[in-house]
Structure 1
Amino acid sequence: MVTKTTDAYVRGTPLEVAVGWIYGLLPHSPLPRTNRTPREALDDAMRPALLGAPCYVTFSGGRDSSAVLAAATSLARREGHELPIPVTLAYPGLRDTDETAWQRLVIDHLKLPEWIVARQPEQSDLLGEAARESLLARGVMWPAAIHTHGPLYGQLSPGSLMTGEGGDATLGLRRGTALTVLRHGRRPSRALLTTAARELLPRRARDWLLRRDQPVGLHDRWLRAAALAEHERRMSEDIVAEPLRYDEGTWFISRRRAFATLVHNQAAHATAYGLAPFDPLLDHGFLAALARSGGRWGYNGRTATMQALFADVLPRAVIARSTKASFNHAYRGSGTIEFARDWDGSGVDTDLVDAERLREVWLSDEPTMATALLLHSAWLASQGTP
């Protein structure tokens, strides 16, 4: 459950803070009828942002942000709007984050004249100066990276801000994708047949299998046993609720509290800097059109979906790429490391979390953003702020 405070932000429960995720679903609503194609609906979601120029697009070079930037550029040229301005955060020295080649491929393909690249690695530290100032003003909220956005937003003129948030979900696999692949004639492997068969099982059986096969290695690094079991139960409960049909599964994304919280909190933060926020890949009109276009079976997977929607605006190499950057190290700077080393263990719920193991995660070679809310809670406690 997510509770809304008296301020502008939505907060998580103690368990959600401990795991770095928002559980649950919003009430069901029927899939709307629409005659719009997915791209037409995406244009509808983007048009207000372009009309509110300057229109900035957060651009990492990944497939989601590239698709949003390319579709927005195409719409701007067709309708005579000012071109969108890509905005990229660069992290010198962190190879896992380097998307320079992919970024340049997209920018050159779109022939965009303006591109803002901000090189400020310490500003992305979850306990850097900007994040601490934001934490004191706004408190703990998900996603934690919101607290690092201030320096970048402060460089931008008032206007609109588009993101590619939600692309992994909206453009990615569905519960029934394995069945769709088989239906389209792919030679069946044992893994594909197993996946397809599992997705046909009743909810209770799928829930049991999902929890039985839960991968080990992330949340068990710092959660206590009871909290880990409850986390796995809540995650499984949300996953197995997804309908089998592609259209119903796509519209199901609109019910996820995690996305509703992300959109709400990022919007509240951006608005404070004079930026009107837009997340077109999570727009309900786009989701409805994508659902209707896919029908019962949908697409063969992420690349097939990208090809169907964006082949006219993106290079084939971008549509088909299988790599993805990682930004976990980008959010751990000197401020985080110094605090973690000196931390006295206060500010986190020790019924849920093993404080010493949590410190080890913060200082390890494999940090994770899943512990970011705990980091912020601990730091605020050290400042005498609940």
Structure 2
Amino acid sequence: MTGPTVPADRLTALESVWGMPFGRQPGVAALDRGASSTLRGAVERAVLPALRRPPCVVSFSGGRDSSTVLAVATAVARREGLPDPVPYSHRFPGVPDSHEDDWQELVVGHLGLSEWERPRWTDELDVLGPHARTVLLRDGVLPPFNGHLHEPVFAAAHGGSVLTGIGGDELFSQVSRYPVVRVLARRAPLRPRALPHLLFSALAPRGVRARRVAHRLPLEFGWVRPAALARLRRELAQDSATEPLRWDVAARSWMWTGRILHVPRLAKERMAAAHDAVVVHPFATPEVLRAAAAAWGPAGPRGRAGELLRSFGDLLPREVFTRETKAGFNGAFWAGAGARFARRWTGVGVDTDLVDPEALRAQWSGPDPDLHSITLLQQAWLAQEGPAPLGR
């Protein structure tokens, strides 16, 4: 599916149509069962090497995952006599959906941190703004399309380190067949009417489940040619159907080996290296996944808020973990430069066997294009207005 010649931090042609990697990362083996600590202890050990390489900058949006990483890093730094981590928060005054100021203030105030980077942006972080163009010209197209948001973060951490909350979405998610797991783990009653569906989810062969997933996938990409869309649907469904029923097995053998985890991680490492910085994603490390698998077992997490409270609840106010709102940054990504390029695009830089250039142009002409198409926009810009660096 991915092909042996695809660099480890790049997307295949089909993945570029989707905008993100999927499937298994070649050369990455499943994790063993070993777990030597609690989830809290594993996260603490994950942040320690970054704290020992100051300045340690935390990419801090104010959401639950980045707030937890900042709180753990602050506690470990003070226990070990190391400099406090420095939160870095993007501020977009013109994008109301992105405003997390109150949550950020609550967290930073509670932790008593005196240093805090809060740059204010207008259109600089557009998908083809100056920071995106810097990354494209230096490194080529790296996933995800909004990875350039970390370019100024890495610059602020020059010579030091960066911590992120990346991996939290995967860590605190249930397996896709969670209704079966809930019944088996006695978290939900067995309802006779649901029995056929549960039996199908638990016992149906992988190929049969893949066909059902493919039929239900909501892929409506008008710019993708029908044959390519059918192939994308089929490969995404096959990947989904390989997910184990047990959460602990999935964490070690499906999440850890997935390209969705490793390709963006390697892309971030490439970007950080340009600033002599290292980047660590505590929620996406082997030790943390092993600890979570051992702690949560076959049924997995009982919900993000509950598990965060159980492991980290003493570090921050309860409402930080139980909040249900989440910021949106689409207005910051599509702020001018991308739309201007789309209007002058000549049609180069995309695989016309996979996409229809005119339908793609129409997608980019709207005020809020589908974000799945933006990787193709960046490829087109690099092809038309690059050149891309050789040997990267």
* TM-score of the pair, normalised by structure 1: 0.90
The code of the aligned residue for 1:74 comes to A
Q: 1:65 deviation in Å?
A: 0.8
Q: 1:367 deviation in Å?
A: 2.5
CA distance in 2, matches of 1:152, 1:296: 37
The code of the aligned residue for 2:325 comes to T
CA distance in 2, matches of 1:207, 1:75: 44
CA distance in 2, matches of 1:17, 1:162: 27
1:364–1:155 distance in 2 versus 1, CA, 3 Å: same
Q: 1:163 deviation in Å?
A: 0.6
Q: 1:186 deviation in Å?
A: 4.6
The SS at the match of 1:86 is: strand
CA distance in 2, matches of 1:173, 1:191: 23
1:384–1:43 distance in 2 versus 1, CA, 3 Å: closer
CA distance in 2, matches of 1:22, 1:180: 27
1:307 alignment counterpart? 309
Q: 1:262 deviation in Å?
A: 0.9
Q: 1:263 deviation in Å?
A: 0.9
2:342 alignment counterpart? 340
The SS at the match of 2:119 is: strand
Q: 1:108 deviation in Å?
A: 2.0
The Cα offsets for residues 128-184 of structure 1, whole Å up to 9 and x where unpaired, read as 123223322222221232345434433444211001111100122223533454445
Q: Show the 5 A alignment for 1:77-116.
A: 77-116=78-117
CA distance in 2, matches of 1:191, 1:369: 39
Q: 1:331 deviation in Å?
A: 1.3
Answer with 132-141 or 190-199: which moved more: 190-199
1:133 alignment counterpart? 134
The answer to whether the Cα contact below 8 Å between 1:175 and 1:249 also exists between their aligned partners in 2 is no
* TM-score of the pair, normalised by structure 2: 0.89
CA distance in 2, matches of 1:373, 1:166: 21
2:238 alignment counterpart? 237
The answer to whether the Cα contact below 8 Å between 2:160 and 2:276 also exists between their aligned partners in 1 is yes
1:21 alignment counterpart? 20
CA distance in 2, matches of 1:91, 1:294: 38
The SS at the match of 1:377 is: helix
The SS at the match of 2:33 is: coil
Query: Are residues 1:45 and 2:41 paired?
Result: no
The SS at the match of 1:121 is: coil
1:68 alignment counterpart? 69
Answer with 119-128 or 362-371: which moved more: 362-371
1:342–1:49 distance in 2 versus 1, CA, 3 Å: same
Gaps of 5+ in 1: none
The answer to whether the Cα contact below 8 Å between 2:181 and 2:245 also exists between their aligned partners in 1 is no
CA distance in 2, matches of 1:307, 1:198: 34
The answer to whether the Cα contact below 8 Å between 2:95 and 2:332 also exists between their aligned partners in 1 is yes
1:384–1:301 distance in 2 versus 1, CA, 3 Å: closer
CA distance in 2, matches of 1:367, 1:190: 44
CA distance in 1, matches of 2:31, 2:156: 41
1:14–1:42 distance in 2 versus 1, CA, 3 Å: same
Equivalent residue for 1:212, pick from 212, 215, 218: 215
1:320 alignment counterpart? 322
CA distance in 2, matches of 1:15, 1:143: 14
CA distance in 2, matches of 1:68, 1:190: 43
Q: 1:372 deviation in Å?
A: 2.1
The Cα offsets for residues 39-66 of structure 1, whole Å up to 9 and x where unpaired, read as 1111111111111121110011111111
The SS at the match of 1:89 is: coil
The code of the aligned residue for 2:20 comes to W
CA distance in 2, matches of 1:227, 1:299: 36
The SS at the match of 1:143 is: coil
The code of the aligned residue for 1:10 comes to D
User: Cα RMSD over matched residues?
Assistant: 2.5
Query: Are residues 1:178 and 2:179 paired?
Result: yes
1:284 alignment counterpart? 286
CA distance in 2, matches of 1:92, 1:361: 27
CA distance in 2, matches of 1:79, 1:192: 52
The answer to whether the Cα contact below 8 Å between 1:118 and 1:152 also exists between their aligned partners in 2 is no
Q: 1:81 deviation in Å?
A: 2.0
Query: Are residues 1:200 and 2:202 paired?
Result: yes
Q: 1:364 deviation in Å?
A: 2.1
CA distance in 2, matches of 1:192, 1:28: 36
1:374 alignment counterpart? 376
Q: Show the 5 A alignment for 1:149-188.
A: 149-182=150-183, 183-186=185-188
1:191–1:376 distance in 2 versus 1, CA, 3 Å: farther
The Cα offsets for residues 248-284 of structure 1, whole Å up to 9 and x where unpaired, read as 1111211001211111110111121121111111111
The code of the aligned residue for 2:124 comes to Q
Q: 1:110 deviation in Å?
A: 1.8
CA distance in 2, matches of 1:287, 1:151: 29
Identity %: 36
